[in-house]
Amino acid sequence: MPYSIHHLRTGDTSCWALCQDGGWAVLDGSLADLLALPLDQARAVLEAAARDAHRDRPGEQVLAPVDRQEVWAAGVTYLRSRDGRKEESGHGSLYDQVYDSDRPELFFKSSPWRVVADRDAVGIRADSGWDVPEAEVGLVLNAAGEVFGYTLGNDMSSRSIEGENPLYLPQAKIYDRSCALGPAIVPSWAVGQGPFEIGLRVLRAGRAAYAATTSTAAMARGFEDLAGWLFRALSFPAGVILLTGTGVVPGAGFTLRPGDTIEITSAALGTLTNPVVAIGDVPA
């Protein structure tokens, strides 16, 4: 893997650090500071740090690769995602229209403080009976809407809630522990524009209960196009993370359970691993 940017906790504080070939360099400032810079200036800062990456790791606890960035998401960007949404809802024409339209589906996913890190637990709602992980490439966009880097994302989703009514999308998508990012950010200039292979595996009692792969080559929309739509009427002075949709959707016979472990892998971007817990209560 090329050099990568990590958010780490050291004692009572946290830092951003660059790792290259096992050597580390602590960065001055925050991710928000980097994403406020033009892309060429941010690249110069990181490449200078990479030349000095020979220290020991500055902290052991991995934090989510965000500080002040909101997380947004795009839906129905893969044919499999369109078919999965039709399967759960019965509203076939609605998702056909989104898939074929110039305007993509974009929705708010998470505040930065709600994002969970690699190895931290993601959640399934206690009032949902059909829940799946969504393995996605996340675009790390700077304040100008340029692609600064990439990370892996898990857009946890309640298919039973969204399938009941498309207007329930926020409840199906936005809740505590519904968004995981990590393990790090890989700069865009270090890996190019893809395509990226993505693998999803769900382990249950140590065995694979579900496994599949996809590629961003199967996306109906490009990264730059999605970023352009997000920035049409929104500003993000600290940058933003945009999840780009999933091409891996388990069928109707599969649902996550507490105790499962989700692994999302990419040769270019690493592995994001999260155990599953139940979140919330069921009304009496």
Q: Which two tokens stand for residue 218?
A: 């199967």
| Backbone CA torsion sign across 151, 156, 162, 163 | positive
pLDDT tens for each residue of the chain, 284 residues long: 579 999 999 888 999 999 999 999 999 999 999 999 999 999 999 999 999 888 899 988 999 999 999 999 998 888 666 666 656 656 556 777 777 888 999 999 999 999 999 999 999 999 999 999 999 999 999 999 999 999 999 999 999 999 888 899 999 999 999 999 999 999 999 998 889 999 999 999 999 999 999 999 998 899 999 999 999 999 999 999 999 999 998 888 899 999 999 999 999 999 999 999 999 988 77
Cβ-contact 10, 58 below 8 angstroms = yes
Going by C-alpha positions, the residue among 175, 137, 155 that lies closest to residue 249 is 155
* 177 φψ region: left (φ > 0), alpha (ψ -120 to 50), beta (else): left
pTM (two decimals): 0.94
Helix 92-100, helix 79-89: angle, nearest 10? 160
CA dist., res. 201 & res. 109, Å (int): 22
The residues, ordered by sequence, that sit 6+ positions from 91 with a Cβ below 8 Å of its Cβ are 85, 166
Going by C-alpha positions, the residue among 196, 112, 117 that lies closest to residue 153 is 117
Q: Looking at the domain that runs over 70-279, which CATH code has it been given?
A: 3.90.850.10
Q: Where are the domains of the chain?
A: 4-63, 70-279
Long-range pairs for 164-167 at CB < 8 Å and ≥24 separation? 166/89, 166/91, 166/94
